[in-house]
């Protein structure tokens, strides 16, 4: 399962995303989709810079969180818990709505 969201660092200092956790999955990790010579690859990101005053989008075709080994079946309309772990800001809990990929909210960039 892929998780998409937007992170806004409103602080005056840069931070680093150092981990992702979810009680809904055995494993959670940030990935970045990359294209090389017509081949698509998902590269794990163990750390991700969050510059001061920056917005970083986790969206289809780019950065996203992969949840592997789901502990239950999720259906559209459900929510699941995800915690982002930052070096400076600490733990940021999220509640993420489950939607079908073809029904992502309007304005979600799926063209990359």
Report pTM. Answer: 0.85
Q: How far is CA 6 from CA 50, 71, 111, in A?
A: 11, 25, 17
pLDDT tens-digit map of 5-35: 999 999 999 999 999 999 999 999 999 988 8
pLDDT tens-digit map of 35-83: 888 888 889 999 999 999 999 999 888 999 999 999 999 999 999 999 9
- Write down the pLDDT at residue 106: 58
Domains and CATH numbers, the chain: 2-91 (2.60.40.1890)
Q: What is the Cα–Cα distance from 50 to 89, expressed in whole angstroms?
A: 11
């Amino acid at each position: 399962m892929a998780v998409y969201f937007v992170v806004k660092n409103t602080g005056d200092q840069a931070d680093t995303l150092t981990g992702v956790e979810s009680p809904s999955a055995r494993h959670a990790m940030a990935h970045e989709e990359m294209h090389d010579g017509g081949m698509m690859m998902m590269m794990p990101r163990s750390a991700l810079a969050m510059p001061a005053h920056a917005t970083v989008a986790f969206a289809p075709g780019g950065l996203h969180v992969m949840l592997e080994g789901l502990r239950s079946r999720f259906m559209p309309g459900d929510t699941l818990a995800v915690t982002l772990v930052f070096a400076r800001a600490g733990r940021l809990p999220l509640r993420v709505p489950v939607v079908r990929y073809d029904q992502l909210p309007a304005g979600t960039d799926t063209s990359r």
